Amino acid sequence: MGALQPIWVVIIFTIVILKPISGFASTLEVDYYHQTCPQVESIVSETVRNATVHDPKVPARILRMFFHDCFIRGCDASVLLDSTRSNKAEKDGPPNISLRSFYVIDDAKSKLEAVCPRTVSCSDVLAIAARDVVTLSGGPYWEVLKGRKDGKISKASDTRDLPAPTFNATTLIQSFAKRGLSIKDLVALSGGHTLGFSHCSSFEGRIRNFSLTKDVDPSMDQWFAEKLRTNCHKPNKERNAGEFLDFTSAVFDNDYYGRLVRGQGVFVSDQDLYSDYRTRWMVEAFWRDQSLFFREFKDSMVRLGRVGVKGDDDGEVRIKCRVVN
């Protein structure tokens, strides 16, 4: 039976992939800008590469930015809009205050406006950049579907719908399902944490006063819990104290899943993927086979990139990503 397990893993994943997707836009195309702006991918890629050379934190920040954008109003670049006197935008909502590197998208967009004015949407720029930071970090490459329009609405209050680090597997599955994403998408996209970092405040509840009878979350490896407690002093005077979500945080690989298997997930939302029977086998499969993880991550990123896509009726191509036209 053990020798047959990888075959069944492939079969089950295939079934999940072929399941009909509801609520997805069908107007996106790989060659959407083939005639109007053939330089789009090279311009975005060069901009991302140059930014990463000067700041190695850029890949993790851009990938997180893409997730947070798509999970609110769909992939419409609403997370890029600045707040105004009359409106507090998504980027200033509590979960997004720590988002950084918006300048990378601004820079790429400015270069595109110089050669292809009013043509390439900010949401497409962000989608391409998210792919590029994964590839630059050693992860897989995929063809990005394009043709999104930029949203005109961005509200900080909507950020309460973002999946939180305290969510368990059931809550995460429900959150992803609302966006038309499967359990497989949840586990594969969570692998994006291979480039992630968390401040102590996001997991403090797991390492101190966890419950009336347990000071530390019993699902956490004891050595790892002590490491986190050492890094996160009480009171904590170090503003940037925290923990990487992957021991190889600068490289896009499958080490994240190995940490979950060893009880070293940082968030409840991470570790519960291994605790829950519906997701545990996928975590193990991705840990055993990095190429399988890469294939499923690519597929899930394409699916995520189609969530809530705007068309001409409810979107626009912004000239500047921080403001509506």
110 is in an annotated binding site: no
Q: What is the pLDDT of residue 268?
A: 95
Q: What is the pLDDT of residue 5?
A: 38
Q: Specify the residue for token string 């060659």.
A: 31
Q: Can you state the angle between helices 277-288 and 169-178, rounded to 10 degrees?
A: 90
194 is in an annotated binding site: yes
78 is in an annotated binding site: yes
163 is in an annotated binding site: yes
Distance between CA atoms of residues 88 and 157, nearest Å:
8
Q: Specify the residue for token string 């105004």.
A: 84
Task: Give the type of residue at 172.
Answer: L
Among the listed residues 34, 68, 199, 233, the single catalytic one is 68
Distance between CA atoms of residues 261 and 54, nearest Å:
34
What is the value of pTM for the model shown?
Answer: 0.90
| Burial of 16 (C-beta count, 10 Å sphere; 0-12/13-18/19+) | middle
3-state class (DSSP) for residue 84: strand
Pair 273, 280: CB distance under 8 Å: yes
Task: Give the type of residue at 73.
Answer: R
Distance between CA atoms of residues 65 and 48, nearest Å:
14
Alpha-carbon radius of gyration of the chain: 20
Q: What is the pLDDT of residue 240?
A: 82
Q: What is the pLDDT of residue 47?
A: 98
- Tell me the two tokens of residue 26: 């069908």
3-state class (DSSP) for residue 307: strand
69 is in an annotated binding site: yes
Spacing of C-alpha 42 from chain mean position? 22
Pair 284, 258: CB distance under 8 Å: no
Distance between CA atoms of residues 297 and 116, nearest Å:
31
193 is in an annotated binding site: yes
Q: What is the pLDDT of residue 111?
A: 98
Strand partners, 304: none
Pair 221, 262: CB distance under 8 Å: yes
CA trace torsion 7, 189, 106, 83 (10° rounding): 160
Q: Please give the average pLDDT of every successive group of 10 residues along the chain, which has 325 residues.
A: 38 38 64 98 98 96 98 97 97 95 98 98 98 98 98 97 95 97 98 94 92 93 94 80 92 97 96 98 98 98 97 94 97
Confirm whether 68 is a catalytic residue.
yes
Strand partners, 149: 310
The tally of CA atoms less than 13 A away on the side-chain side of residue 208 is: 15
- Which bin fits 322, alpha (ψ -120 to 50), beta or left (φ > 0)? alpha
**Residues whose CB is less than 8 angstroms from the CB of residue 235 and which lie 6 or more positions away in sequence, other chains included:** none
202 is in an annotated binding site: no
